[in-house]
Amino acid sequence: MQNLAHQRILIIGGSAGMGLGAAQRLAKAGAEVLIAGRSQQRLDQAVASIEGHAAGYAADFTNSASLTALFARIGRIDHLVLAASSSAAWGPIAQVSGDALSTALNQKLVGYWMSIQAAIPQLRPDGSITLLSGAASRTPMPGTAALAAVNGGITQMAQTLALELAPLRVNVISPGLVDTPAYDGMSAEAKAGMFAAAAARLPLGRTGAVDDIAQAVEFLIASSWTTGALLDVDGGARMPVQPAR
């Protein structure tokens, strides 16, 4: 396992949620953490919560010119983490428009694609790229076909890039249900009910915390002989608890 001290790690989507959790954990490990997101105000707040060497840069990961400018500012990096989110295209196929699916694809899958393109000239040749996808592409659930299309595309893209970009390592994390600000729009009662029901279906009996995903990010960055991997960090969601007979 690599020592991450003094290594420069850029996290796109690092101002909140799983991206921020990864930034906080990596900074404690001694890395120089750079976080990017659309809002400088949110980035500044996030940087203030990170113990260690950190800086925030405003950028739009769906805009190639903005990404080019970002990498021109930050220069060389050792590792890239893609944790940015997109607008959610939830619902059965009859209710999700082609425009909604196209927006989700362009924001996340194409955004990740352009981020990697922009990063390659600045990435250490034997560094790493870690992409966060989503459990909908791993566990079929009615109403999540659009999410499965977006995140499944990320997984297949990454595994091909692990060959194309070698010795640069490329890996994917597929998170399960994790308590992040993405659910802050729900009422406290509805959120608690959803998380409790989900936990009851999991072998480990609980839903995820941000640091569960951060630990996986740290492992994949530090594990110098891991590439092309798809790591399910979901409490065993792909092996749901079966009711007793």
Residue 68's H or E segment, with its range, is helix 64-74
Task: Look up residue 58 and give its amino acid.
Answer: A
Mean pLDDT over residues 89-115, rounded?
93
Q: What is the pTM of this model?
A: 0.95
Q: Strand order of the sheet with strand 169-175? A: 54-58, 32-37, 8-12, 77-82, 123-132, 169-175, 230-233
In the chain, what are the domains?
8-232 (3.40.50.720)
Helix (H) / strand (E) element for 175: namely strand 169-175
For range 36-60, the mean pLDDT: 97
Q: Return the half-sphere exposure (C-beta side, CA atoms, 13 A cut-off) of residue 18.
A: 29
- In Å, what is the CA distance from 97 to each residue of 89, 105, 153? 9, 12, 19
- Measured in residues, the chain has a length of 245
| pLDDT reported for residue 29 | 97
Per-residue pLDDT of 196-223, as tens digits, reads 999 999 999 999 999 999 999 999 999 9
Name the amino acid, one letter, at 220: L
Supply 117's token pair: 């393109």
Residue 244 or 51, more confident: 51
What pLDDT, on a 0 to 100 scale, did the predictor assign at position 241?
Answer: 67
Q: Identify the band that residue 79 occupies on the pLDDT scale cut at 50, 70 and 90.
A: very high
